[in-house]
Homo-oligomer: A and B are copies of this chain.
Amino acid sequence: MSAPLADAALDQLFREARSYNAWLDRDVSDAQIHAIYELMKMGPTSANQQPARLVWCKSPEAKARLAAHAMDKNQPKIAGAPVCVIVGMDLEFHEQLPWLFPHADARSWFLKDELRQANAFRNSSLQGAYLMLAARALGLDCGPMSGFDNAAVDAEFFADQPSVRSNFICAIGYGDPASIFGRSPRPGFDVFNRIL
C-alpha cells in the first residue's frame, strides 16, 4: 500500500510528457540504456513471458540502417536522436519460459501459434510502454513511431533471429521543446469509459 506520487512525478510521467520530433545535442549513455531496461523488465507480462527483444540503435551507422526503412517524415527523427530502440517480439518466447517461469510448465500453455502470436504482440507492447515510462521516470524523453517497413526492419536487424518481429520503434533522448506541436485533444471520462 503506497501513497500517490507527488504531482511533479505525475507531470513528468504523464501530464507534461510529450512525444518529441527532434532532440537536443546531448548523449544517452549505455548506463542510461541499461537503467531503462532494469526498470522495464520489472513490469508485468503474462506468465513472465518477457517477449520483448530490444535493439538499441546508437551509432550513426545503426541509426542510418534503421532510418532507411522508415517513412520519410520519420527518418530525421531517427537519425537525429541519441538512440532509437527497436522493440521486437519473439514469437517463440515460450522456449524461454522454463527459466523465466520455473514453477510451472508454462511452455505447454503456448503451443498454439495464434495464441502465441497474440501474447507476443500484447506483452511486447506492454513492455514497450514500460520502456517509455521508465525512460521518462529517468528524466529522458521519448518519440515512439510505427511508421516504418516492419518486414524490411526485420530482415535488416533480425535476420539471425527468425522468430523475432519488430513491433514499434522509439527514439530516446532529451527532447527539443521547439519540435513539438500543440497537444492533441484528450477524451473526457465518459467518452470511452463505463463503470458498472
Q: Hey, which bits of chain A sit against chain B, CB under 8 A?
A: 1-6, 9-10, 12-15, 17, 19, 24, 30, 33-34, 37-44, 46, 48, 50, 52-59, 61-62, 99-103, 118-119, 121-123, 125-130, 132-134, 136-139, 141-142, 144, 146, 167-168, 174-175, 181, 184-187, 189, 192-196
Contacts and interface: CB of A to CB of B under 8 A. Distances in A.
Contact of A133 (B13, B46, B167): B13
Nearest to A143: B44
A101 B50 CA distance: 32
Contacts of A19: 44
Nearest to A194: B55
Contacts of A141: 1
Contacts of A58: 195-196
A134 B14 contact: yes
Contact of A126 (B33, B128, B136): B128
Contacts of A122: 121, 125, 146, 167-168
Contacts of A123: 125
Contacts of A103: 181, 184
A13 B137 contact: yes
A12 B3 CA distance: 9
18 contacts: A1-B141, A4-B139, A9-B9, A14-B39, A37-B189, A38-B189, A42-B186, A46-B144, A52-B192, A55-B193, A56-B196, A101-B184, A102-B185, A122-B125, A126-B128, A127-B129, A129-B129, A133-B133
Contacts of A185: 48, 99-100, 102
